[in-house]
Amino acid sequence: MRVAITRGVSPNIERCELTCLEREAISVDAAREEHSRYERCLADLGCEVRSLPPEPELPDSVFVEDTAVVFDELALLTRPGAESRRPEIPGIAEALSRDRPLARIAGPGTLDGGDVLVLDRKVFVGRSTRTNDEGVKQVRDILAPFGYAVTAVPVSRCLHLKSAVGRVAQDTLLINRSWIDGTAFGSMRFIDVEPSEPRAAGALLIADTVVYPERFKRTLEKLLRAGIRAAPVKLSELAKAEGGVTCCSLVFEV
Q: Is 96 exposed, middle or buried (0-12, 13-18, 19+ CB in 10 A)?
A: buried
Among residues 16, 41, 158, 160, which one is catalytic?
160
Q: Which helix (H) or strand (E) holds 93?
A: helix 89-96
Encode burial over 128-166: b for 16+ CB neighbours within 10 A, e otherwise: bbbbbebbbebbbebbeeeebebebbebeebbbbbbbbb
35 has catalytic annotation: no
Helix and strand numbers, DSSP H then E, in the chain: 6, 15
Q: Which helix (H) or strand (E) holds 118?
A: strand 116-119
Task: Assess contact for 193 and 206: CB atoms under 8 A.
Answer: no
Strand partners, 2: 47, 253
Among residues 16, 47, 158, 247, which one is catalytic?
247
Q: How remote is the C-alpha of 34 from its chain's centroid?
A: 17
247 has catalytic annotation: yes
Residues 67, 192: Cα–Cα separation, whole Å: 28
Q: Are strands 116-119 and 204-206 parallel, antiparallel or unpaired?
A: unpaired
Residues annotated as catalytic are: 160, 247
